[in-house]
Structure 1
Amino acid sequence: MNYSKKGIKERQKSLHASSHKWSKKLLLAVMNLMVLGILAIGVIGASAGIGVFKGIIDTAPSIENIDVTPTGFSTFVYDLEGNQIGKLIAQDSNRIPVAKDMIPENLAHAFVAIEDERFYEHNGIDIKGIIRAAYVGISNGFHFTEGASTITQQLLKNNVFTNWTKEDGFMDKIKRKIQEQYLAIELTKTMSKDDVLVNYMNTINLGQNTLGVQAASLRYFNKSVNTLTLSECAVIAGITQNPSKFNPISHPDNNAQRREKVLNNMLEQGYITQTEYDEAMADDVYSRIQIVNAEVEEDSVNTYFVDALTDDITEDLMATGNYTETQAYTLLYSGGLKIYATQDPHVQEICDEAFSNEENYPEGTRWQLSYELTTQDSNGNFKNYSTEMYRQYFKEMDSSFNLLYSSQEAAYDAIEQYKAAVMEPGEEVYGENITLTPQPQVSIVIEDQSTGYVVAMVGGRGQKEASRTLNRATDSKRQPGSTFKIVAVYAPALDSAGLTLATVMNDAPFNYANGRPVNNWWGSEYRGLNSLRTAIAQSMNIIAVKTLTQITPQLGFDYLKNFGFTTLVEREEITVGGKTQVFSDIQQSLALGGITKGVTNEELTAAYASIANGGTYIKPKLYTKVLDHDGNVILDNTAPQSRQVIKETTAWLLTDAMVDVVTSGTGASVNFGNMAIAGKTGTTSDYNDVWFSGYTPYYTASVWTGYDNNAKLQKGNGERNLAKKLWRAVMSKVHEDLPSQSFQVPSGIVTATVCSQSGKLPIPGLCDGTLKTEYFAEGTVPTESCDVHYQGMVCPYSNLPACDTCPFKVEGVLTMTPVEDPSLQQGSGTEAPAMATQEVTNEDGTVSTITVPQAAQKTCIHTAEYMAQPGIETIIEQQRGEMAAASAAAQAAAAPLPTTEGEAPAAE
């Protein structure tokens, strides 16, 4: 720089030069513009940011409209005594809300200490926490691992911003965070810290499908949250950050580390003392958790009763018209309902013990296999093998193969044989599903007939592996066998068809309308004239079918519908293999329980309960009422849905006849004494299903036994008597402490003496040896005289009353088979009359059995027309010789028996 006088002048000249001035002005202008631009951009950016922020805030839910109360709660089922017997849980609904006074102070402090230490100080957002999280994140290379959400924010995230797990990107997350923080501040203005904390603790996910501290306390410690120790509080609080990683059952070591941090924080923040800390750390809490876990897992499967209950409630919710099936299911499993069931815990316990006791079952339990196999070859391709493919493989070697094995070991051996046969080289087992079910299977339903309450139910034998599995008490439709004789035949016959218990029918050869013979269960013998009472006690098939034929199958079908059976088929077209067939249960086989689809145990029990209840049907109920989460009744099932099915007198007459079943008939083995019992056995023709349905003055019960695959129950090992054995085992125990009672006779029942051979009024001197006192409903006592016993001129050739022109007529007494209803005379479906056996009393007092047409005349064959035929003298002489031969044979048969010891025939 030149600082001489000349230099200074030149410098001054240069500075005052016009060109230099303009350049400076231009530079200054540019600089000013840049500053203004920067300021403008800043202002615009700030305005835009404020606008965006305001827009985010404006689109946030209104604080007046948000509800931070958690939704989705467990539903509980209670028995008649108020005991919890079931818990219904949907995904994300295992929550049991508790009030503030139920939460221990240590638990509240534990959550605050580990999740939000300044919870009681901040206004909903924790500025210090945000700064700390940001600093740690920046220090870690912008890897943000620490959260800064407060308990209030977490509450909002879980109950308001429920879609946060589906956020598409960073901007969605920023938007939600801003709204979350804004609402946290607003919520703190309207809700106390304690209420925020309670709602938070009722909301959070705590692993094992538990939501909220009460559900978690029950799941991990099997006790209510208000009884938790400090150590247990720390365990639960430690789960929150990562319910999977810190699960105290599956990852106890991880939870233990987290629990230690919770306790350290509580100690540092002054919530607990050093002594309390030391005691909690010394607690062997995880051993207790594992013990409880085993117990809870065993009880987590709902019973058959609760399974059936859920089906009924779902249907009833839909029936109100307020719920679709999906809505009803959602409400049932996540609505926090309280369901009051009809189950009697004492009766149910007796059923459970009897049906789970293997000593009550015959030896030689068989196992039915269900098997599914998935394999993978070396190229990664999968093959699937079903149970049907497995069955078909073995059926090719043994046509009688039916998936039943004598032992579980035998089943596993067969599985290995199958895999070796079907798997190719390079194939490996990818997965297997093996289920072995003990057989025969069983079910029982017990109902209080006076209320319609189903008090106990068992739907199967063996370990129940899951909820909502096959319930054989309500889901399986099985053939009812002879139990249907009562409800399909004798109830309508006595109630409205003019028949009585004294009505006599002839047990003799009889065919269905299609020509197929009706067979009795005991074999090919026939027992002749028997009353309906005897037919009930001895379960006589032919008389049951004859009776239904007389009263018409349509009448029997109508009564069954009124008895509550919903599985009957009036007319249904079914196409099999391209051929369409019409099925209907309105036919003669209805008498023996031969129906298209079968019946459920529950409906059969309800039908018999109707008889026990004086003829009044009450729709069986498994619950009385259902309350919603707020305690409002949404289903009221207390009023009985009832109707009169048969007269009270009819019900008592059927009951009295069924008392004979268990005192001297086919069900005698169920009789346990000291209590009136009525009931009926039921066996299908091939022994696929065996039942016993019966009742006392207190309860009605039906037991079913059979194979799931319809295999025949085995003979000689007790399987065919299992239903009666289990019925007696249960009902004798149920009635142990109940006062002995008899069935009360209603008004309208009278007695009368009848001839047991005809069911009609006796003829003095003729029916003296066959007199019987029978019960009748008023107005049904017979008015006709006996038509079985006859005294007068008889024809010893035909053993019928003699015609005036009979050449053999003598004075005598006969026992004849009366002519039956015309509808029963053509049982074969052909023009030829059906034949029947007939006992007759001969003149010398001996009894002969002859075979005659069912439509036989009331007099002998020797009519005037018969005697007028050519060559009658020769015919009469031939008949005289036949009578002489028959008489000689009778005398030989009546010869004295040997009396020397050892020579007499053995007694049966």
Structure 2
Amino acid sequence: MGRSSSVRYYDRNGMLLQITPLAGGLRREVPREIPRYVKDVFVFSEDRRFYRHGGVDALSLFRAFYQNVTGGRRVSGASTITMQLARLIADNARNDYQAPRQQGLIQKIGEAFNALRLETRLSKDEILELYLTCLPFGYNTEGVATAARTFFAGDISTLSPAQIFCLAVIPRRPGMYNPLENPQNCIEAASALQQRFADNRKLSSLWPLFSLINEADWEFASSSARRFVYPFELPHLIRSINTQLSSSPNTAVSGGEIYLSVDLALQRYIEGAIAGNVSLYRSSRLTNGSAVVIDNDTGEILAWAGSADFNNAYAAGQIDGVLALNQPGSSMKPFLYAMALEKGFKPADVIADVQMNFGEREVYIPRNFNDRFNGPVLFRYALASSLNIPAVYLLYRLGVRNYTDLLLSLGFDSLERSAEDAGLGLALGNAPVSLLELVRAFSVFPRDGIYLPVTWELAAKEQREDKSGLLLEEQRVFSSDTARIICSFLSDSSARVLAFGSGRNFRTSFPSIFKTGTANQYQSIVALGATPKYSAGVWMGNFTGETVVGRTGSSVPAAIVRNTLSFLHGSQFSGQIRDFPEPENWQLRRVCALSGMLPSQACLSVIDEYMQTGEAGTFCTWHQMVNGRSRTIFPAEYQGWFNSAERDGSLDYASRPLEIITPREGFVYLSGAGVGMNEIPVEVIGGAENILRVTHNGNAFTVNRPFTFYLPRKTGTNTLQIQNGGEEAEVSFFIE
């Protein structure tokens, strides 16, 4: 017939989520099965000779003609079930199947002709199934399955005989016979139909219960009539699925039903958590939130909350925050650090968290969220405490294009065009991505470095496995050891203290990892969390672009993620709690907490960190015993940081080759009123001698250590040359 039908959506446990409406709110369901007794009642009511005629019942035509002529009005019709179905098909072709129209002689002849055609193409059972699926009952209801739900809030297979007779009379005159508004009329007409049904020996013997309906049965049928409240769960996800299905004409929905992988209990828990926190922090201008949870083993989506309130137009609630693109902030950093490990960086490496300048004509000077510099920071602490400058430094070393390729392999399709424009800011998550992309990629770490696309379909894991037991869509992105080391970093509460203190938002009674991010002045706040079994993400902020005030950081979404994972591990999903496995080719060894090297007698603080199995290691050179006391000697690259405050220890100026830290080659400065200090800051590190010979645009002078000084702003091209012992360096920069 080419008629679309409503789709019944269920969660993984068979709980009804939605029955999707068609145009105008009409619902037309394809039933799983129409019971035989229902078919017999409707055939008896509408077309008793259905199985004996070929689509047009000549006997009924003559009888109706005689009754209508002798009665002077229309007393009865002669349309067979097949003719009625032909009319429904014709109305559908004109897209006015809901509008009543006059049945003239020409129309009747056309219906009769089309009925004969249907009888030659379809069996009687097929015709009856189509008819009972499309039969109009009024009230935006078509088909017996939808009618059973609309008028009695039940499945057609669970209705009583009296309720079925009530359904059978509604199509005659829906306004007069519907049991919701005219129960007495409905019961009287249904009772009359039942009496005739009981008088039929064949049917009464076949269905004895339909012949034994008493007054109490009719009273129950009348009192049980109630309008069904159609559920409206997961509106964002189901809308997305409907869009996918409508764009794929070859996709068939078997039986008009789809079983989703989501769990309704978890879904409602998350929706309540998001709505509750949005309400709690409304004074902080926090108006919305979204969340998604997936099963790491199968890629199944367990929950999908697109907004705090789908029906809140003021807060743009119909926007799907799971799919909307927002800047993720620092939540992207684990992928960068994992790439660094893959490219040769080591967990015990030290990264300088000091002021750094990047770029040429457009100078990029990253800052940490607290506007502080922490000096030397171990790889683990740089990630766990989400420091910005080490992240930008890593991206500078690894290359934006290489990192972009990695992110694309992790499913960040939204970055295909925006990553290059983001430049080094990509390290800090300044290119918008979706929450779904984030959670899907984050699940790579508890999945031992393997990327797996997510699915909303409830399908047995075995159906998606190949002969070796691997999921067909699996793709290795990181080595298992890299993924396990990242999990170690992100689960280490002590490594987060530098930036987050000892807060409890990341504390769980089971193994878990977390990463958060903020962007756009807290317009976008993200928290990611995972256990070996599940991954979850929460976004909070405003679709309207307003920034959140009075409540900084990502503690609110982080608490929701933590509580969601706790809910999962304390519910029917829990099972046996797994731990994150240890890397196979790395082992924990004691290292100096400052240098990351093997500790010497002079090292005052040591920690456990991963070193490659069999690696000899180097003993710490940053600490020395001087007159029985430990003394710290920092490498030359920490010159600016060391001299910016009073610190214990000293600098090994000669530990690095001579290098101009600022200005860099190609830097462009402005000149004139309103541009700040009228001098150009210069910092030079390294060199074996304590005197630096400087030549600026032909003017020569000397500088003593530390080599930090200023140059006057002179418009045009400037040349800076330096010499220290046998080493030289030169840069050119421009002042506009």
TM-score normalised by structure 1 residue count: 0.62
Q: Which residue of 2 aligns with 1:600?
A: 434
Residue 395 of structure 2 aligns to a residue in which SS?
helix
Structure 1 CA distance for aligned equivalents of residues 635 and 112 of structure 2 = 109
Q: Which residue of 2 aligns with 1:641?
A: 473
Structure 2 CA distance for aligned equivalents of residues 619 and 482 of structure 1 = 23
- 1:239 lines up with 2:170 in the alignment: yes
Residue-by-residue CA offset, 1:437-494 (whole Å, 9 max, x unaligned): xx4211111122222222222111125589x97353432101000111111x211111
> Which of residues 201, 210, 213 is equivalent to 1:276?
213
> Which of residues 205, 213, 225 is equivalent to 1:289?
225
Structure 1's 361 and 672: CA in aligned 2 closer, same or farther, altered over 3 A? farther
Q: Which residue of 2 aligns with 1:341?
A: 260
Residues 615 and 647, structure 1, Cα contact 8 Å, conserved in 2:
yes
Residues 362 and 719, structure 1, Cα contact 8 Å, conserved in 2:
no
Structure 1's 241 and 782: CA in aligned 2 closer, same or farther, altered over 3 A? farther
Structure 1 CA distance for aligned equivalents of residues 7 and 302 of structure 2 = 20
> Which of residues 502, 517, 529 is equivalent to 1:694?
529
Structure 1 CA distance for aligned equivalents of residues 483 and 243 of structure 2 = 31
Residue 530 of structure 1 aligns to a residue in which SS?
strand
Residues 310 and 318, structure 2, Cα contact 8 Å, conserved in 1:
no
Residues 619 and 640, structure 1, Cα contact 8 Å, conserved in 2:
no
Amino acid of the residue matched to residue 354 of structure 1?
A
Identity %: 21
Residues 538 and 557, structure 2, Cα contact 8 Å, conserved in 1:
yes
Over aligned residue pairs, what C-alpha RMSD do you find? 4.6
Structure 2 CA distance for aligned equivalents of residues 191 and 569 of structure 1 = 53
Residue 493 of structure 1 aligns to a residue in which SS?
helix
Residue 660 of structure 1 aligns to a residue in which SS?
coil
> Which of residues 715, 736, 742 is equivalent to 2:570?
736
> Which of residues 316, 338, 356 is equivalent to 1:510?
356
- 1:224 lines up with 2:155 in the alignment: yes
Give the C-alpha shift of residue 615 in structure 1. 0.8
Residue 270 of structure 2 aligns to a residue in which SS?
helix
Q: Which residue of 2 aligns with 1:521?
A: 369
Residues 512 and 829, structure 1, Cα contact 8 Å, conserved in 2:
no
> Which of residues 533, 558, 569 is equivalent to 1:724?
558
> Which of residues 474, 492, 495 is equivalent to 2:339?
492
Give the C-alpha shift of residue 118 in structure 1. 6.0
How many residues matched? 645
Residue-by-residue CA offset, 1:709-755 (whole Å, 9 max, x unaligned): 12111214x78521112112212221125344421113111234433
Structure 2 CA distance for aligned equivalents of residues 182 and 673 of structure 1 = 70
Q: Which residue of 1 aligns with 2:331?
A: 483
Structure 2 CA distance for aligned equivalents of residues 790 and 527 of structure 1 = 22
Residues 789 and 816, structure 1, Cα contact 8 Å, conserved in 2:
no
Alignment of 1:676-825 (within 5 A): 676-684=511-519, 686-716=521-551, 720-736=554-570, 738=574, 739-762=576-599, 764-765=600-601, 767-778=602-613, 783=617, 786=620, 788-789=622-623, 814-816=650-652, 825=661
Give the C-alpha shift of residue 563 in structure 1. 1.5
Structure 1's 471 and 313: CA in aligned 2 closer, same or farther, altered over 3 A? farther
Structure 2 CA distance for aligned equivalents of residues 818 and 773 of structure 1 = 30
Residue 485 of structure 1 aligns to a residue in which SS?
helix
Structure 1 CA distance for aligned equivalents of residues 380 and 155 of structure 2 = 60
Alignment of 1:571-582 (within 5 A): none
Structure 1's 130 and 699: CA in aligned 2 closer, same or farther, altered over 3 A? same
Q: Which residue of 2 aligns with 1:175?
A: 109
Amino acid of the residue matched to residue 412 of structure 2?
F
Give the C-alpha shift of residue 604 in structure 1. 0.2
Alignment of 1:884-899 (within 5 A): none
Q: Which residue of 1 aligns with 2:424?
A: 588
User: Which protein has the larger Cα radius of gyration, Structure 1 or Structure 2?
Assistant: 1
Q: Which residue of 2 aligns with 1:354?
A: 273
Residues 663 and 682, structure 2, Cα contact 8 Å, conserved in 1:
no
Structure 2 CA distance for aligned equivalents of residues 662 and 87 of structure 1 = 49
Structure 1's 759 and 312: CA in aligned 2 closer, same or farther, altered over 3 A? farther
> Which of residues 77, 81, 96 is equivalent to 1:151?
81
Residue-by-residue CA offset, 1:643-676 (whole Å, 9 max, x unaligned): 1111111111111111125874456432343211
Residue 262 of structure 1 aligns to a residue in which SS?
helix
Structure 2's unaligned 5+ residue stretches are 205-209, 465-469, 637-647, 670-680, 707-736
Structure 2 CA distance for aligned equivalents of residues 277 and 148 of structure 1 = 32
- 1:133 lines up with 2:64 in the alignment: yes
Residues 408 and 416, structure 2, Cα contact 8 Å, conserved in 1:
no
Residue 669 of structure 1 aligns to a residue in which SS?
coil
Give the C-alpha shift of residue 339 in structure 1. 3.2
> Which of residues 671, 686, 689 is equivalent to 1:857?
686
Residues 321 and 435, structure 2, Cα contact 8 Å, conserved in 1:
yes
Structure 1's 494 and 277: CA in aligned 2 closer, same or farther, altered over 3 A? same
Residue 769 of structure 1 aligns to a residue in which SS?
coil
> Which of residues 591, 600, 611 is equivalent to 2:445?
611
Structure 1's 760 and 302: CA in aligned 2 closer, same or farther, altered over 3 A? closer
Alignment of 1:447-458 (within 5 A): 447-458=294-305
Give the C-alpha shift of residue 618 in structure 1. 0.7
Give the C-alpha shift of residue 517 in structure 1. 2.9
Alignment of 1:39-50 (within 5 A): none
Q: Which residue of 1 aligns with 2:280?
A: 363
Structure 1's 677 and 122: CA in aligned 2 closer, same or farther, altered over 3 A? closer
Residue-by-residue CA offset, 1:337-357 (whole Å, 9 max, x unaligned): 54343224453343244334x
Amino acid of the residue matched to residue 564 of structure 1?
G
Structure 2 CA distance for aligned equivalents of residues 817 and 361 of structure 1 = 53
Residue-by-residue CA offset, 1:679-722 (whole Å, 9 max, x unaligned): 11111151111111121122111111101112111214x78521
Residue-by-residue CA offset, 1:788-846 (whole Å, 9 max, x unaligned): 446899xx9x9999xxxxxxxxxx9745489789999357666699xxxxxxxxxxxxx
Structure 1's 180 and 147: CA in aligned 2 closer, same or farther, altered over 3 A? farther
Structure 1 CA distance for aligned equivalents of residues 663 and 241 of structure 2 = 46
Q: Which residue of 1 aligns with 2:12?
A: 80
Q: Which residue of 2 aligns with 1:327?
A: 249
Q: Which residue of 2 aligns with 1:566?
A: 413
Q: Which residue of 2 aligns with 1:95?
A: 29
Structure 1's 586 and 624: CA in aligned 2 closer, same or farther, altered over 3 A? same
Amino acid of the residue matched to residue 236 of structure 2?
Y
Residue 612 of structure 1 aligns to a residue in which SS?
coil
Residue 490 of structure 1 aligns to a residue in which SS?
helix
Structure 2 CA distance for aligned equivalents of residues 511 and 702 of structure 1 = 33
Give the C-alpha shift of residue 267 in structure 1. 1.9
Residues 95 and 210, structure 1, Cα contact 8 Å, conserved in 2:
no
Amino acid of the residue matched to residue 511 of structure 1?
N
Residues 377 and 594, structure 2, Cα contact 8 Å, conserved in 1:
yes
Structure 1's 782 and 549: CA in aligned 2 closer, same or farther, altered over 3 A? farther
Q: Which residue of 1 aligns with 2:192?
A: 264
Residue 744 of structure 1 aligns to a residue in which SS?
coil
Structure 1's 224 and 179: CA in aligned 2 closer, same or farther, altered over 3 A? same
Residue 610 of structure 1 aligns to a residue in which SS?
coil
Structure 1's 168 and 94: CA in aligned 2 closer, same or farther, altered over 3 A? closer
Structure 1's unaligned 5+ residue stretches are 1-68, 315-324, 368-403, 405-438, 572-582, 627-631, 802-811, 834-851, 880-908
Give the C-alpha shift of residue 81 in structure 1. 3.7
Residue 705 of structure 1 aligns to a residue in which SS?
strand
Residue-by-residue CA offset, 1:617-653 (whole Å, 9 max, x unaligned): 1111221559xxxxx99xxxx9441211111111111
Structure 2 CA distance for aligned equivalents of residues 527 and 723 of structure 1 = 27
Q: Which residue of 2 aligns with 1:207?
A: 138
